[in-house]
Structure 1
Amino acid sequence: MSEMTTLVGLLDHKARTQPEIAPLEFLGDTANPPNYADLDRLARATAARLTELTAPGDRVLLVMPSGTDFVATFFGCLYARVLPVPCPPPLPGPMAERFAAIVADCAPNLLVTERDWVAMLAAVEGPKLVSAHELRESATDPADFVLPEVRPSNTAYLQYTGGTTGSPRGIVLTHANVLANLALASADNVLTGEDLMIGWLPLFHDLGLVSQVLQPLYDGYRVVMMQPQDFVADPAHWLRTVSERAATMAALPGFAYDMLLRRIPAAERATLRLDRLRIARTGAEVLDPAQITEFLAGFAASGLRPESLSTAYGLGEAVVHVCIAPLNTPPVMVRADRQRLERGEVVSGAEDAETVLLAGSGRPGSGVWVTIASLDEQRSLPEGFVGEIMITGSSVAAGYWGVEGGTIAVGGVDGFLPTGDLGCLLDGELFVLGRTADLIVAEGRWIFPVDVERTAASATPSVRAHACAVFAVDGAVVLVAETKHADEAAIEAIRAGVLARHGLELKDIRLVGRGSLPMTTSGKLRRGRTRDLYQQGALN
């Protein structure tokens, strides 16, 4: 792929050299899967109309389900040199908040959706609304549309952050950034046209867009996609498709593995064949060793191999991939001394010491460099010391979309980008421990919220670690957890468990109903927002 330097050139090349190959299939779509020639033709038709409605550099919001319309419109924007902005629909809850924040930040000139969603979006305050089908009804013959000159340094699209610790920010990604990250993932995963991925991640999510649309175009592998809501409704259907189609790749956030375990009975797991999976990518802000171990044990009867469960670390500021576990390597786990960890060091614990089990998130990919910096960002730290994860490389974006339509420069130690994540490097492996904004310092000790949350979940079956938030208020530590049944016994079990394991006295324990804790659209807990709601008395 050395001749491909932009995403525009990538699709154009595929359409000219492999026009009949269909890289993407959408489950439930009655139309034939689009081949490269179809995608190029639809993108050109879209671009022809966009040049009449917009100017180069304008932002175009893409709000539509996974499907041909999304892919054709995304590339149509690239062909027209306007900036596509993948965005969730404004459904009640986190998606509506995210939609409003993105519209306010990037001031889009146009909102494109599919025909079935026009009525729903017509009632939403926002930019001019048009369907993808209408966009393609240009008087210009797609064959007559001339591709513009696009340079690798030109901005390709805006990818908004999840907003875990604040409002979503628009990452300005160039064609060069994206192509560099595609090359990284291709080389480190040894991706080929023989691979098949079964996906369900939404295309407004960075991992969904890259692994299910852009990477297959780069490497030639095929992707079969289902809608995210169909996965949530019936995760077993997704896994059956992985089994029946003999898929070699899958990518899931941590909460999805938990969902599969809880909702697919052991008897059904035994009927599945997952031995053909060579890469089952799992990534999270902090990987859960117990969850990984339980998932591997739970699906061992399906033929799932430990070395196929590939841990990773990524973020939108680097397109998506930063660290990837080496192929055919089981997840790396380290049992760290708890007292040393609370002082900012990761060392193996002695047999008689209190320890914390940590899971590694892989090693820096080709062309990406990772360093750990002190929390004041003044110096790099040696291996084994905890600090802020910082990254640099050709995949890393130059900045965020600014309120005046420019970019906000990012910096750090020696030009490395601060990620806002806490972690350490140990023997070349990255261990992610949380967010810098969530770290609690109590009596000189570093308290990692996720560690305390897991302790609370182990203390009572009525609480799950992934629906529990620990944070500080005026120097005191508070825990809020979702539960079906709030009772004094559960509260006392949590209080005693946290005190025994962490020597930490919780000022308040608040048990709330399911669905009360604020999450991002990708299922990540927003601890800062939870603290705000707690202080406002808005948690029930």
Structure 2
Amino acid sequence: MPRFAHLVEALHAAPGDKPFIAFWVDEDEQETVTFAEFRRCALAEAALLREVGLTAGDRLVVLMPQGIPAMTSFVAAMMVGAIPAFLAYPNFKVEPSKYRSGLAGVTANLSAKAVVIDEEFPEEMLACVSLGSETKLLRAPARANDSDASMPDRQHEFRHIQPDSLAFIQHSAGTTGLQKGVALTHAAVLRQIEYLAQVLKVSGDDRIYSWLPLYHDMGLIACFMLPMVCHIPLVMQSPIEWVMRPETMLQIISEYKCTLAWMPNFAFQFVPRRTPQSRWAEYDLSSVRLLINCSEPVRASSMVEFQRAFAVKSAVLQSSYAMAENVFAVTQSDIGQPSGPSRIWVDAQQFRSAHRIMPLEEGTPGALLFTSSGRLMPNQQVRILSDSGEVLGADFVGEIVVQSDCLFEGYYNRPDLTAQAIIDGWYHTGDLGFCLKGELYVVGRKKDLLIIGGENIYPQDIEEIVGSHPAIHDGRVIAMGVYNPDLGTEDIVVVAEVEHEKWLANAVELEREICSRVVAGLGVAVRRIFLKPPKWIVKSTAGKAARSATREKLLHEHPELNVEF
């Protein structure tokens, strides 16, 4: 891969006639642009941004639906040396009050010079966009006019962009006003992309598929910046369209012969469960060489379910540990390993009581299965720390801390949060995991850990069992700890959405059945299961269950639980 000084230079080096983005709307509508067409559109919009006074270092918020126009505005801002940030566009999956609060908080923190919205942006949401006296509200056309744009002299036009200049700010922490803007330089982003291209063996024959939101690091880095820098085609669709019709992912990959894609763990179950089994064999995923499980703890059962449904080879299903604060990937599983990511069985009792890793033979009673997130990418370092900050050995679980040459500059305009997160040059991720034989295993979030009767219980383990019941909606389960003053410890409480409201008529029997499954699977008892109708659980801007907001809603509706927490 050639070395570039900044991201805009990488875009200008792309072959003009090569396809860049194909945006799939539905079976009858797709919008496509070549690299040359995209460049001309971005240059035309950059000229308009200059006319309204945008200059190097100014922040620009892109608040538009996923698609080529939003991507054009983002790159146009970089062309003038400004610092763009994608924010989530309002949709029916998001709790309106949470979205308003988050939008107001984030836009205020950025102090943006301009906010770009589309013609369809809801008028009732405009009041939530924090506009200072110097902030301009711009409405972008459905498609930039590229007819008068010409290719500028690169060195003259973009000399103001330096490798250590901030390229953009990415937000990926849910819907609250406490979102942290991760500030990333051109150099850090380009280093990350170089490492990804090297480890994944990216070539000109690759074609990326994505439904991932552009405000999320997977969508922004792996599925926008990577193809832009490596000059490979991208086929994408709206996240909302994917959520409503996940089967379309299979249709698009089959039709466009895509080779690379990233997905969070839940999607590996969601797609086969939302695709009628009678149609599984209709789709041809043979073109896919890597489908990477990323952004959540990797679960073997999820990947096996996808593999069995669509007959993909084990080597296709890979894993990675990534975060916005490191641009993207910290680790990547070995793509040359035919069996896919490494797996290990460990003693469940030792894991829960002492956070200790004691390997066992597969199938041993009382064993837990973990799937590796892979080995370190180039120039990445990881340590596992105890609560007191001591470096732990390979047989203990602790907080994952990261140091690399891709690490972010800090949380934008929040030196207080930056000082808490980066200590002596190491970023404290808040994730728990362990290292074994040079591979990283991620087990959950530190803040989500439930300590029940002295044992460490991960809510994701409970949620996986509850969510596997046919009456429960996939991905709409939240397990939490609620303090029990009589016992002096926390009880496990679960809230879950039923697939159809008719299931609520048999709630008592269903709760009993689900509790029995949890006891059989984990050996722990659930105090209460609250079954709720569809659409009850609070969603994040990505359409996923929002843990803290759902907890607040449950405690508000059931004050008897609100003894102490």
Please give the alpha-carbon distance, in whole angstroms, between the structure 1 residues aligned to 2:241 and 2:520: 42
Q: Structure 1, residues 286-334: CA drift from partner, whole Å, max 9, x if none?
A: 222222111111111xxx1111011111111111212111114313222
Please give the alpha-carbon distance, in whole angstroms, between the structure 2 residues aligned to 1:185 and 1:452: 33
Cα drift, residue 414 of structure 1? 4.7
Cα drift, residue 336 of structure 1? 1.6
Q: 1:424 to 1:67 in 2, by over 3 A?
A: same
Cα drift, residue 517 of structure 1? 2.1
- 1:476 aligned onto 2:490: yes
Q: 1:232 to 1:524 in 2, by over 3 A?
A: closer
The letter of the residue matching 1:421 is D
Please give the alpha-carbon distance, in whole angstroms, between the structure 1 residues aligned to 2:472 and 2:490: 21
Q: Secondary structure at the match of 2:428?
A: strand
Structure 1: gaps of 5 or more residues: none
**Contact 1:23/1:36, CA 8 A, preserved across alignment:** yes
Please give the alpha-carbon distance, in whole angstroms, between the structure 1 residues aligned to 2:342 and 2:462: 22
* Aligned with residue 386 of structure 2, among 367, 374, 377: 374
* Aligned with residue 316 of structure 1, among 309, 319, 324: 324
Q: Secondary structure at the match of 1:385?
A: coil
Residue correspondence of structure 1 range 61-80 to structure 2 within 5 A: 61-80=61-80
Q: Secondary structure at the match of 1:384?
A: coil
The letter of the residue matching 1:103 is T
Residue correspondence of structure 1 range 135-174 to structure 2 within 5 A: 146-163=157-174, 167-174=178-185
**Contact 2:40/2:146, CA 8 A, preserved across alignment:** no
Residue correspondence of structure 1 range 249-328 to structure 2 within 5 A: 249-300=260-311, 304-328=312-336
Q: Secondary structure at the match of 1:69?
A: helix
Q: 1:279 to 1:499 in 2, by over 3 A?
A: closer
TM-score for the superposition, normalised by structure 1: 0.89
Q: 1:453 to 1:182 in 2, by over 3 A?
A: same
Q: What is the total number of aligned residue pairs between the two structures?
A: 531
- 1:99 aligned onto 2:110: no
Q: 1:35 to 1:121 in 2, by over 3 A?
A: farther
Please give the alpha-carbon distance, in whole angstroms, between the structure 1 residues aligned to 2:448 and 2:417: 26
Cα drift, residue 2 of structure 1? 4.2
**Contact 1:374/1:381, CA 8 A, preserved across alignment:** yes
Q: Secondary structure at the match of 1:322?
A: strand
Residue correspondence of structure 1 range 155-234 to structure 2 within 5 A: 155-163=166-174, 167-234=178-245
Please give the alpha-carbon distance, in whole angstroms, between the structure 1 residues aligned to 2:431 and 2:437: 19
Q: Which residue of 2 aligns with 1:521?
A: 541
Q: 1:168 to 1:370 in 2, by over 3 A?
A: same
Residue correspondence of structure 1 range 316-355 to structure 2 within 5 A: 316-329=324-337, 330-342=340-352, 343-349=354-360, 352-355=364-367
Q: Which residue of 2 aligns with 1:21?
A: 18
Please give the alpha-carbon distance, in whole angstroms, between the structure 1 residues aligned to 2:556 and 2:101: 18
**Contact 2:69/2:143, CA 8 A, preserved across alignment:** no
Cα drift, residue 372 of structure 1? 1.2
**Contact 1:118/1:131, CA 8 A, preserved across alignment:** no
Q: Secondary structure at the match of 1:535?
A: helix
Q: Secondary structure at the match of 1:466?
A: strand
Cα drift, residue 204 of structure 1? 2.1
Please give the alpha-carbon distance, in whole angstroms, between the structure 2 residues aligned to 1:77 and 1:511: 47
Cα drift, residue 158 of structure 1? 0.7
Q: Secondary structure at the match of 2:61?
A: strand
Please give the alpha-carbon distance, in whole angstroms, between the structure 2 residues aligned to 1:274 and 1:140: 41
Q: Secondary structure at the match of 2:32?
A: coil
Q: 1:50 to 1:135 in 2, by over 3 A?
A: farther
Q: 1:493 to 1:269 in 2, by over 3 A?
A: closer
Q: Secondary structure at the match of 1:53?
A: coil
Q: 1:531 to 1:134 in 2, by over 3 A?
A: closer
Q: Which residue of 2 aligns with 1:510?
A: 530
Q: Which residue of 1 aligns with 2:448?
A: 438
CA RMSD of aligned residues (A): 3.0
* Aligned with residue 118 of structure 2, among 109, 114, 120: 114
Q: Which residue of 1 aligns with 2:45?
A: 46
Please give the alpha-carbon distance, in whole angstroms, between the structure 1 residues aligned to 2:182 and 2:277: 42
The letter of the residue matching 2:46 is A
**Contact 1:313/1:322, CA 8 A, preserved across alignment:** yes
Structure 2: gaps of 5 or more residues: 484-488
**Contact 2:103/2:128, CA 8 A, preserved across alignment:** no
Residue correspondence of structure 1 range 344-493 to structure 2 within 5 A: 344-349=355-360, 352-376=364-388, 378-402=389-413, 408-409=418-419, 411=421, 414-457=424-467, 460-463=469-472, 466-474=475-483, 475-477=489-491, 478-483=493-498, 484=500, 485-486=503-504, 487-493=507-513
Cα drift, residue 499 of structure 1? 4.2
TM-score for the superposition, normalised by structure 2: 0.86
**Contact 2:103/2:177, CA 8 A, preserved across alignment:** no
Of 62-71 and 409-418, deviating more is: 409-418
**Contact 1:398/1:409, CA 8 A, preserved across alignment:** no
Cα drift, residue 280 of structure 1? 0.9
Q: Secondary structure at the match of 2:302?
A: helix
**Contact 1:317/1:396, CA 8 A, preserved across alignment:** yes
Please give the alpha-carbon distance, in whole angstroms, between the structure 2 residues aligned to 1:346 and 1:26: 45
The letter of the residue matching 1:111 is V
The letter of the residue matching 1:132 is A
Of 494-503 and 137-146, deviating more is: 137-146
Please give the alpha-carbon distance, in whole angstroms, between the structure 1 residues aligned to 2:298 and 2:3: 37
**Contact 2:515/2:525, CA 8 A, preserved across alignment:** yes
Please give the alpha-carbon distance, in whole angstroms, between the structure 2 residues aligned to 1:529 and 1:284: 20
Q: 1:526 to 1:380 in 2, by over 3 A?
A: farther
Please give the alpha-carbon distance, in whole angstroms, between the structure 1 residues aligned to 2:229 and 2:42: 17
Q: 1:82 to 1:6 in 2, by over 3 A?
A: same
**Contact 1:410/1:417, CA 8 A, preserved across alignment:** no
Please give the alpha-carbon distance, in whole angstroms, between the structure 1 residues aligned to 2:85 and 2:342: 36
